[in-house]
């Protein structure tokens, strides 16, 4: 494909040595220049009010078996707009364990015991040398790490993914 770019008659007797890393690096820079768009920095989350913090700390103190997700649910029910990760962060800074009294296996123990039953799926994008973007739907078996390609398309739609 790249050979069509060069006029062979003019280059007769000239040899070029190009390493694969050079070609791959050039392609990566070309793709980055083609797809990069200037964007404004994300605005971020607004800080939590002092009243919401006090209420979350009070709930954690009065209910020692509740974790940050349970506290999040209670605050949401009371009308506070907050995400669980924010509760986790400020409970930690207040010296309160965000997941008290957790019993059962660790996350790694759970994954190892359930790996033969778990299949993950995702899309990835592949940019061809002609800057054509392909969307790849794949599945991976967690235990064997075997990957199954389900489809490749230039324009994924709901019907295509179903």
pLDDT band, very low/low/confident/very high, at 27 (cuts 50, 70, 90) = confident
pLDDT at residue 13, rounded to an integer: 62
User: Does 112 share its domain with 145?
Assistant: yes
Give pLDDT tens digits for 3-15.
555 565 665 666 6
The structural domain count of the chain equals: 2
What range does the domain containing 152 cover? 108-161
User: Dmax over Cα atoms in the chain, in whole Å?
Assistant: 84
> Are the CB atoms for 120 and 139 separated by under 8 Å?
yes
User: Considering the domain boundaries, does residue 11 fall inside one?
Assistant: no
Give pLDDT tens digits for 124-144.
999 998 889 999 999 999 889
Triad 123, 153, 22: Cα angle to 5°? 75
pLDDT at residue 2, rounded to an integer: 54
pLDDT > 90 in the chain, percent: 28
Q: Choose among 69, 92, 160: nearest CA to 123.
A: 160
Distance of alpha carbon 131 from alpha carbon 36, whole angstroms: 13
- CA distances (Å), 113 to each of 55, 110, 118, 121, 141, in order? 38, 5, 10, 20, 14
User: Does 85 share its domain with 119?
Assistant: no
């Amino acid at each position: 494909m790249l050979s069509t770019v060069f006029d062979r008659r003019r280059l007769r007797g000239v040899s070029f040595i190009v390493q694969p890393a050079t070609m791959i690096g050039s392609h990566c820079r070309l793709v980055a220049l083609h797809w990069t768009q200037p964007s404004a920095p994300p605005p971020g989350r607004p800080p939590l009010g002092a009243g919401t913090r006090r209420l979350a700390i009070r709930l954690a103190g009065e209910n020692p078996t509740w974790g940050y997700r349970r506290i999040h649910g209670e605050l949401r029910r009371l009308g506070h707009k907050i995400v669980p990760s924010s509760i986790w962060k400020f409970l930690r800074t207040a010296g309160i364990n965000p997941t008290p009294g957790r019993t059962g296996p660790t996350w790694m123990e759970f994954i190892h015991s359930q790996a033969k039953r778990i299949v993950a799926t995702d899309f990835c994008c592949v940019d061809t040398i002609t800057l054509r973007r392909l969307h790849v739907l794949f599945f991976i078996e967690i235990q064997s790490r075997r990957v199954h390609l389900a489809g490749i398309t230039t324009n994924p739609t709901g019907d295509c993914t179903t």
